[in-house]
Each structure stands twice: as C-alpha cells, then as structure tokens.
Amino acid sequence: MQIENRRQRTPSQWACALLAAAALGAAAPAHADVERFAYTYGWQTPTKGEAELEIKHTQPKSGHFLQDSASVEYGITDRWMIEPYIVYNHSGGFKDVPDSTGSVDADDGGTGGGDGAAIFDPIRIGSGYRYGGFQVETRYRFGDYGYKKLQTSAYLEYEQLRREGNEVEGKLIFQYDPNESSDLVFNLITEQPLRKGAPAEWGYSFGATYLADKKSNRYWVGGEAWGNWSEKQHFIGPSVGGYIGKSTRLVGTYGFQTQGVGGDQFRVMVSQELN
C-alpha cells in the first residue's frame, strides 16, 4: 500500500522532485569546475569543448616588475585540458643587471636584493608594458568528483619568459572537499630551469575556501599559503572570490611574506566563460 501511494504522486509532487534532482545534479559540477584560488590550482578541468578566458595580475609590494598574463583554457576532453598564456610585464622603470652567471633574481621586486643589481632609469628603460614571454599548460584529472574523497590531477607546463628563461614545471594536485561548502587543495610543485647545471626547485601551494553564500554558491572566502622550499621564500594570506556577472569570476589573494626577499605579493584573477 505504501509503495502504491508513492507511485501515485500528484503533478506538483513530481515537479518538486524533478526540480530537487536537477538542483542536486547541478550543484556538484558547479562546485567541481570553478577555480576558487589565485595561486593554487584545483583538481577540476573544463569539460570537452568548454573555453574560458583568464587574465591574471601579479604585483609585489614594491610596485615594480608587475607581471600580467592572458590565457585561454580549453577542454580537449572531459578530463584533459590545455591553456596557452601570453605574459607581459610592467618594469616600473627598473631593470635587473645579470650577475656573473648571467642570471637575475625574478623575485627581488626590483630592489636589487637578489642575484643581480637593479638600475632605476624610467626615462631610458621606460615603465610601460612589454612582452614577457609565453607559457603552455596542460592538466589531466583522475577519477570523478565527490565529497569526502581525495581527488588528484597532474599538471605540466613549459614556459619561455624573458626574465626567467626556459623552464618546465610540474604539479601534483590534491583536493579534498569535506562538504558542499568547503574546498581543501594542495599542490606539490617542481620547477626545472632548462639551462646546463641548473638544479630543480621544489615548492608548494595550499588553499582553503568556504562558501559565504550557500544559496547561490556565488561568493567564497578563504586563504592561501605558497612558497619555494629551494629559495626559502614563503607567503600566506587571505583570499576572496565570487561572480561579478552571470559568467565572470573575480578572485584575489594577498600574500604576506613570511620568509625571503621581495616583500608581500598580491594577485587578482578575472575569468570569463566563453561558451
């Protein structure tokens, strides 16, 4: 008798059930495929054919050597994506002079406190934007999304930057979402400069977010910590993000430097869905 009653639902009951199922079905993918951090990469990848324009602005506390990038993220399959970047820099009138090995410190913030000295001459050097190089990133995710499970993906990047030279970077990405409101993400990072005798560098990034608006899932708050063990440079700070339009996201993180040279660092990222 109870089974028969469940089958004989009214049209309004069926409509409510279908809407609830649709909402539950839409909640997990929306939670799974949105980047919520400025420095830390999440497990997610775009679906096949999905494209997104992404612009990043990174600025040290000193205000010199700003680095911006524009990229297009594209899903080759539902698990595999590619993202080419164009990088452009704003020197602020500073120029690093290479040391005896021919290298400069990309993280000295224009202070000259690293490998090379710094020259300030805004008239001759200028302070406008210049082409800084390019990067090509690819990611592959393993498994399917779910709460209370460890999710992993792999990241590989080739970069050719005017201030840092050629380099290959790899990441192992781990994400654990204890519930629909929270993300916990860890990246294990290795960087290998492509010059003779250059040692590999090891670093990390960690991010945690919490949805501030559970009804719409449009706004979140959290924090990030990242650094380079090889160079003994580390940052930690708050992060906020959310949608500023139907398909436009804004994420920002301010990093207080706890060790190293160059000072605090700030990054803001704007993402625009293209389809």
- Taking only the tens place, the pLDDT of each residue in 46-63 is 999 999 999 999 888 765
pLDDT, tens digit, 9 for 90 and up, residues 115-149: 444 544 444 445 566 788 899 999 999 999 999 99
* pLDDT at 115 (0 to 100): 43
Q: Which residues of 75-95 are buried (b: 16+ CB within 10 A; e: fewer)?
A: beeebebebebebebbbbbbb
17 has a pLDDT exceeding 90:
no
pTM, rounded to two decimals: 0.76
Q: What is the pLDDT of residue 32?
A: 40
* Residue 78, helix vs strand vs coil: coil
Q: How does DSSP assign 120-170, residue by residue? A: E-TTTT--SEEEEEEEEEEEEEES---TTSEEEEEEEEEEEETTTEEEEEE
Q: What is the pLDDT of residue 23?
A: 33
